[in-house]
């Protein structure tokens, strides 16, 4: 399946100031697959080393951190000489060797001609304690679950995407195409963007198999908590993780520590929550008081919402039947707003990696997201269907007079004065439309 990050990996390969690369991302988002594919398509050879369950490999880094010695010994393990420039070296699950993480500094300083990429569970890297993390000596890229654009590509609709990509903001999408995209969008809410889940859906179209794989992924996350977190922190990580669907389902969506565990306060749980954020498993969206640059200067550290990195896993954790999304039954009514918000947030983060904010004026009005596109601060209201009645965005527009406002819904593409209605299924193109 095509992943857009391949273009960034090629740019990394061609940079003169290239450093060892750490590909960050949550477990099961396709890091190993994409690095192997990148190596196969862009190098003469790939030398792959997996540190998980392989203490013998880690010992080659524990003797000392001499990169020239390590390269020779890795070549012996590989059964083939590792050549600079033409061999891609992959260190998988690198969080299982603190010495290997530290060694990246010496690879960069002493033998930068070798091309080294690393992958690992972000939670493991966050909670591991390297001898000395190679700050400033490594490059980073983020791989997230597949965005909706990549999901549509995986479903063989490249021509449809090319057509939509060229549409002007003032031109409506033909109904036949809109219906097709709407179905794909609803399917994406069911599957989410975990590559193994998407691959299963594309091949089998079997929701029960999709949910089986999602359950396996969710269980692997719980195992990661137990494997990497201190014993005292594991219960906190697990409780926060399991509370997120309930927190999002509440009317205002604000994260409340007391809903994780009765009587819990911020000081009891904030470190555990930050670990989940650092691991890329959850996203924190802070409230701002007013939309001004820099947005961070006007944000509140204590008022925030928490979302999941994958909307399909959110649906599965919520025990929401897939049929409810397509049938629009009452079972879906309560939760569809939160799921759609989570989807839009994931798409926004995929655009630049930047986290948006949300705006609230007392108890009278709330705008789901405030995002910055170059010099524009854009309010974004999210609606899960074609019913778009809401006064909150109107309150914001009257107060701040933004040059452009966005409403994401299932309505067709439309511009009404400075209000741009972007269909949820083409939100990946929102920056161009703005």
State pLDDT tens for residues 311-342.
999 999 999 889 888 876 666 766 888 899 99
Residue 297: which residues within 8 A CB-CB, separation 6 or more? none
User: What's the CA gap between 390 and 2, in Å, rounded?
Assistant: 38
| Burial classification of residue 102, based on how many CB atoms lie within 10 Å of its CB (0-12 exposed, 13-18 middle, 19 or more buried) | middle
pLDDT of residue 154 exceeding 90, the answer is: yes
Question: How far apart, in Å, are the Cα atoms of 207 and each of 18, 30, 309?
Answer: 43, 21, 20
**CA atoms within 13 Å, Cβ hemisphere of 343:** 31
Mean pLDDT of 146-173: 93
Domain 5-142: top CATH class: alpha beta
126-136 pLDDT, tens per residue?
555 555 677 78
- β-strands 419-423, 376-382 pairing: unpaired
pTM above 0.85, yes or no: yes
Percent above pLDDT 90 for the chain: 66
How many CB atoms sit inside 10 A of residue 94's CB?
Answer: 28
Please check whether residue 122 is in contact with residue 9, taking contact to mean a CB–CB distance below 8 angstroms. no
Give span(s): CATH 3.40.50.300, the chain.
5-142
Q: Can you say how many angstroms the Cα of residue 116 is from the centroid of all Cα atoms in its chain?
A: 23
Q: Coil, strand, or helix at residue 269?
A: helix
User: What's the CA gap between 7 and 415, in Å, rounded?
Assistant: 32
Q: Which of 152-161, 323-332, 385-394, 421-430 has the lowest mean pLDDT?
A: 323-332
The per-residue pLDDT of the chain, averaged, comes to 90
């Amino acid at each position: 399946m095509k992943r857009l990050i391949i273009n960034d990996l090629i740019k990394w390969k061609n940079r003169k100031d290239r450093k060892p690369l750490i590909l960050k991302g949550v477990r099961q988002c396709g890091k190993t697959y994409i690095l192997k594919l990148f190596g196969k398509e862009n190098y003469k050879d790939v030398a792959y080393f997996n540190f998980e369950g392989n203490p013998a490999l880690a010992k080659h880094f524990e003797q000392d951190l001499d990169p020239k010695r390590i390269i020779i010994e890795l070549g012996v393990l590989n059964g083939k000489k590792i050549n600079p420039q033409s061999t891609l070296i992959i260190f998988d699950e690198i969080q299982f060797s603190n010495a290997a993480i530290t060694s990246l500094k010496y690879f960069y300083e002493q033998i930068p001609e070798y091309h080294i990429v690393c992958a690992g569970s972000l939670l493991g890297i966050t909670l591991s304690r390297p001898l000395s993390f190679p700050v400033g000596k490594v490059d980073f890229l983020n791989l997230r679950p597949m965005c909706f654009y990549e999901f549509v590509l995986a479903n063989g609709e490249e021509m449809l995407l090319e057509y939509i990509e060229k549409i002007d903001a003032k031109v409506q999408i033909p109904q036949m195409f809109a219906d097709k995209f709407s179905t794909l969008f609803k399917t994406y809410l069911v599957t989410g963007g975990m590559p193994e889940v998407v691959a299963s859906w594309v091949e089998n179209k079997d929701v029960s198999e999709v949910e089986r794989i999602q359950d396996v992924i969710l269980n692997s996350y719980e195992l990661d908590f137990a494997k990497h977190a201190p014993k005292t922190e594991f219960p906190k990580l697990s409780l926060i993780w399991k509370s997120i669907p309930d927190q999002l389902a509440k009317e205002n969506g604000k994260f409340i520590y007391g809903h994780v565990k009765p009587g819990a306060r911020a000081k009891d749980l904030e470190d555990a929550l930050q670990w989940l954020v650092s691991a890329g498993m959850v996203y924190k969206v802070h409230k701002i008081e007013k939309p001004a640059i820099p947005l961070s200067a006007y944000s509140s550290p204590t008022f925030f919402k928490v979302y999941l990195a994958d909307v399909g896993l959110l649906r599965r954790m919520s025990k929401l039947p897939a049929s409810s999304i397509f049938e629009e039954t009452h079972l879906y009514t309560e939760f569809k707003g939160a799921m759609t918000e989570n989807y839009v947030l994931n798409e926004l983060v995929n655009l630049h990696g930047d986290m948006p904010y949300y705006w609230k004026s007392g108890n009278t009005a709330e705008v789901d997201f405030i995002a910055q596109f170059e010099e524009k601060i854009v309010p974004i209201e999210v609606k899960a269907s074609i019913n778009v009645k809401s006064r909150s965005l109107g309150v914001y527009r009257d107060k701040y007079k933004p040059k452009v406002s966005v409403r994401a819904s299932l309505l067709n593409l439309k511009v009404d004065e400075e209000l741009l209605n972007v269909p949820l299924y083409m939100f990946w193109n929102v920056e161009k439309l703005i």
